[in-house]
Copies of this chain bind each other. A is one copy, B any other.
Amino acid sequence: MIHLSVSDVMTGTVRTTTPAETMAGVATRLREEGIGSLIVVDPTSDELTGIVTESDIVRLVAAGAAGATTVSEMMSSDVITIAPDASIHDAARLMREHSIRRLPVVEGGELVGMLTTTNLVHYLPRLRNTILRERTQA
């Protein structure tokens, strides 16, 4: 049986920032790298401490916040993560349950990738064939 796992679909590169970065700095990084979020890592402990997304910037703009607002003031610190060997169906369920579009992928305490709704959708056209092949081999 072919197991459709998070590691098959995730982006292996993880883009990080620090709690002291500014909203303007985050916006520049997101635009330049064509991504929707940055993982916030504590510069001393090197631990995952939050996630900052396009939606956080929209929220701040709506509130009339200045570009100098820091990541620590705008990030979500309760980060929902997933393991690389979890199934993509479990990942989709987790996203739905928590109304989120991005899951940092963590293995043994280490950040190893990022899974987004975009990753899952780009995989969708191949999914049908994979499921049917798996069924034939069962």
List residues of chain A with CB under 8 Å of any chain B CB: 23-24, 27-28, 30-32, 34, 36, 54-55, 57-59, 61-62, 64, 67, 88-89, 92-93, 95-96, 99, 101, 116-118, 120-122, 124-125, 127-128, 131-132, 135
Task: Say how far A40's CB is from chain B's closest CB, in angstroms.
Answer: 17
Chain B nearest Cβ from A116, distance in angstroms? 8
Q: How far is the CA of A28 from the CA of B60 in the complex (A)?
A: 9
Would you call B101 and A117 a contact (CB within 8 A)? yes
Q: A120-B124, A128-B89, A135-B135 are in contact. Are A58 and B59 (CB under 8 A)?
A: no
Q: Oligomeric state, in number of copies? A: 2
Out of B23, B62, B121, name the residue touching A117 (CB < 8 Å). B121
User: Which of B34, B67, B96 contacts A61, CB < 8 Å?
Assistant: B67
A27-B59, A34-B99, A116-B117 known; 12 other A-B pairs, CB under 8 Å?
Answer: A24-B61, A30-B58, A31-B58, A54-B58, A58-B58, A89-B124, A89-B125, A92-B122, A95-B118, A96-B122, A101-B118, A120-B120
